[in-house]
Each structure stands twice: as C-alpha cells, then as structure tokens.
Structure 1
Amino acid sequence: MDHPDEIAPYRKQGAKCCCCCCDYRRAVIAVAIVLGTLEGLVLLYVLSGNYLSYACSSYYYGTNRECEEHFQAMATIETIFSITSIVLGIGAIWGAMTFNAFAVGLNAAWIVVGWILGVVFATSMCNAWNNKGSYYECYTVSSNIAALAITAAFSALFVYPHVGFIVEVQKGIMSKETYEMEKFSCCCISNVQPQPVSHQVAPAHSYGQVSQQQQAKATVYAKSAKAKSDYRYAGGDVELARPEAEKEGTVLYA
C-alpha cells in the first residue's frame, strides 16, 4: 500500500457557539456560571425575607397575615427551584470539564423545565393576586405574548450551547483527546492550532522494529472512526492511537 510522506494537519471540526464566540465546552461553562450566579442572588434575596414586607406593603390588598402566607409559599418554591438550578449548574460545569454529555443534558433539560414551571407559576400567582385584589392588574403570562416570547428566547439561548456540546461529544468531535485542537475563544486564548511535523509512514506490523523510546516520543495522528474526517489528534499517546492506526493498517511516527 502506498502512503504519503506527510499527513494533513488536524482541522477544527466542531462549530463555534453563535458562529464566532467560543467552543461549546466553554459556552456551557459560561452559561452555567451566569445562571448559577443569578440563581444565587435570587436565593439570597428570598432567604433574607426582605421581599415579604415590600410585597405586602406595595402590591397586596389582603390582610398582612394572608399576604405573608401567600408569599411564604412562593419563597419556599423559589428556594427549592434555585437550589436545584445551582446544583445542576455545577453538574453541567463538571460535565463540560470531563466531557460528560449526560450531566450537561440534565442541566439543559432543567432549563426547559424551569421555563415551563415559570410560566405556570407566574400565571397562578397573577390569578391569586387578581382574585384578592391589588394596586394594579396583574396580566398573566399566557395572555402576554411578548413576555412569553422573550422568556422562551432566553431559555433557548441558554439551552443552545448545551445541545451543541452534546452533539459534538456523541460524534467524537469533542473529547479529551481532541480538545486541544477544538478549543476556541474570541478573546481569552490563542487560537493558533499546533501543527504536526513531517512524518514517515510504516506498516502496522513494524511496531516491533521501533524502540519504546521512539514510540513514547512520537506524535501520532490516527484515523478516527467517530470523527470520520481528516485525522484525529491523539495527544502523543501511542497506546491510545494504536487501535485506530491498526484499523487503517498504518502507524505514523514523527
């Protein structure tokens, strides 16, 4: 079999979040940090209890006891929701760091569930306020198309990098071995990808003719069954790349 003396360098196969921002792994981490911070601030505010007196004095016609009971129930629900969001957000960060699609998927699902619960919760709260009477008319979210569309758009924007990350992990594009070549940021890192050196090609059966020291120092590029295009960067780990190289009947040494 004829082989070229050199192979083409690995080219980034993954997409960029919003076409220009960063790779999906960084995007998932950034979104999880932003949402976790916001939920943390909401949780602190709810636990402080300050909103109870403000809400009851400003927006509610009912008795003070009725108001406090009403908003205390709201505070309990919001506390559970915020804690769950923070925990799953931390899980998403861990999932992105370890290329665990399941952990990232859980957070994506929770964002969708959170939006649905938010619509239901806001509608029920507005109905309760309107029935009891308030200083202003509370329009339900279901009757306000603009509010519904805006909240849905933000939720979709937050879910988007999670889906992109999961797809790339499933395809083998995003992994521990390929991330050095797949990483990208418009502002935080150098995006110059390392280039391979010239390679000499030998048949797979010539492993025994190469010293262990040469194998350890070799920069190996092997065809990947998952990536399906170009060559997959194997981080210089001969043992990791050997099965894929043997599949192709070729071993590439620097």
Structure 2
Amino acid sequence: MSDANKKNEATEAVPVATAATAIPVAHPAEMAIGMNDQEKQGAKCCFCCCDYRRAVVVMSILRIIFYGNDIISIAISFARSARAYDNIEFWSSRACVYIVVYALFSFCNIVTVWAALKYHICMLSTMVLVILIQLGLNIYHACQLRNHVYWNLAELAESGLGNFLASTVVSTIYNGLYLYPVIGLISEIKNGIMSQETYPREGKEYTVRVV
C-alpha cells in the first residue's frame, strides 16, 4: 500500500471535532403566558360594555325579572277585567295562556344563563329562535290591541296605529339588544375565542394605567 493511501485512511479514521454551540431553551412553564396577561381577542358588547358572555347572563336575568313582573301584572289586570266584564271564564282562560307563555319564556332565559356559563352552543342557538318567537308574539299582541281599539273605539283608530308602531319599534329594539350578545357569544365560542380556558383573558376588566 502506498504512503498516500495510508495517509488518506488515517485521515478518514480520525474523527473530526466540531464545535457545538449550546442554545438555551426556556422551560415550557417559563414560556407560557397566563391568560390574565394575554391581550383580549374577542369583542366587547356594543363596543364598550362587558364581554358577550357576561352580557348574555345579565340580559337573561333582567328578562327573568321583567317576565316575573309581567306575570304579576297580567294576573292583576285580568282579575280586574273579569270583575268589570262579568266574564270570569273568558278572562281567566286568557290570563292563564299569557301567564303560561311568559313562564315558559322565563324558563328559557334561565336555561340561557346556564348555557352561557357552560358555553353550550346548541342551547344558545335554540335561544336565538326563542327570541325571534318572542318578537313575533309581541308584534302579534300589539296588532291585536290595535284591532281592538279600531273596532271598538273608531275615534281612537289613529292613536291606536301610533301605539302599534311604537310598540313594534320598542319590541324590536328590546329583543334586538338581547339577540345581539347571544349571537356574538355563539360566534366567539365557535371560533375558539371564548371558552372556559380563555375566559380569564376575555372576561377581564381593563383599567387605565397612569405612567
């Protein structure tokens, strides 16, 4: 074997030392940023209020209170009407229908509070349909009242039409203000923005820092 071949074999047999540079790797626990320290990704209800989840809970509780007040008012009103018109069966049946309907709506709002707290998309989506039904019933009730005024008090027909339009506008705004945060919450849950894990980030209150 020639000297040149021996040198090549010796060179190949000798391991070449390479310089290794240590790259510091942070511990995963150190890299993780707490939800409270992360920037909010979701929107605020009406661009300035609380998060959608909290808005849905607050609106649902307010509607439960309003429906409870309506049930009491209807019971008292129909009781007086029954005495005035001397038709207890007719007015009692109408009172029972309205009371049962409003009680069902109150129950739906209780379920909505639970659905918002549990991030339950299916129940929240069902509540969207319930809100639209409530709006339809409010408009129907206003229409029935307007027809009653028109046929029984023809001289007040114009004011009856005004009351119908005002009632329709108020009902639309009232139900729209409830529908808006429910749809917003459903959207954020579907997009992964709002969840039990991310709520400390999405539900935190911001304060103005003075430098």
TM-score by length of 1: 0.59
Contact 1:46 1:79 (C-alpha < 8 Å) held by counterparts: yes
1:96 corresponds to which letter in structure 2? Answer: A
Query: Bigger radius of gyration, 1 or 2?
Result: 2
Higher strand share: 1
Q: Tell me the secondary structure at the aligned position of residue 137 of structure 2.
A: helix
Q: Tell me the secondary structure at the aligned position of residue 45 of structure 2.
A: coil
Q: Name the structure, 1 or 2, with higher relative contact order (CA <8 Å, separation 6+).
A: 2
Per the TM alignment, residue 107 of structure 1 is displaced from its structure 2 partner at its CA by 2.3
Equivalences, count: 177
Counterpart for residue 159 of structure 1 = 179
Q: 1:44-92 CA deviation, whole Å, 9 max, x = no partner?
A: 3334xx312544688xxxx532xx4553343122112211111111111
Q: Tell me the secondary structure at the aligned position of residue 18 of structure 1.
A: helix
1:51 aligns with 2:71: no
Q: Distance in 2 between matches of 1:163 and 1:3?
A: 46
1:175 corresponds to which letter in structure 2? Answer: S
- Any stretches of 5+ residues in structure 1 without a counterpart? 186-190, 193-254
Residue among 109, 114, 119 paired with 1:94: 114
Kindly report structure 1 stretches of 4+ aligned residues shifted beyond 6 Å: none
2:78 corresponds to which letter in structure 1? Answer: L
TM-score by length of 2: 0.70
1:64 aligns with 2:64: no
Q: Tell me the secondary structure at the aligned position of residue 67 of structure 2.
A: helix
2:52 corresponds to which letter in structure 1? Answer: Y
Q: Distance in 2 between matches of 1:3 and 1:106?
A: 52
Contact 2:74 2:99 (C-alpha < 8 Å) held by counterparts: yes
1:41 corresponds to which letter in structure 2? Answer: N
1:20 aligns with 2:42: no
Say what the alpha-carbon RMSD is for the aligned residues.
3.1
Q: 1:166-218 CA deviation, whole Å, 9 max, x = no partner?
A: 00000010001111111134xxxxx47xxxxxxxxxxxxxxxxxxxxxxxxxx
Counterpart for residue 41 of structure 1 = 69
Identity of aligned residues (%): 24
- Any stretches of 5+ residues in structure 2 without a counterpart? 1-22
Higher helix share: 2
Residue among 101, 109, 123 paired with 1:81: 101
Contact 2:149 2:160 (C-alpha < 8 Å) held by counterparts: no
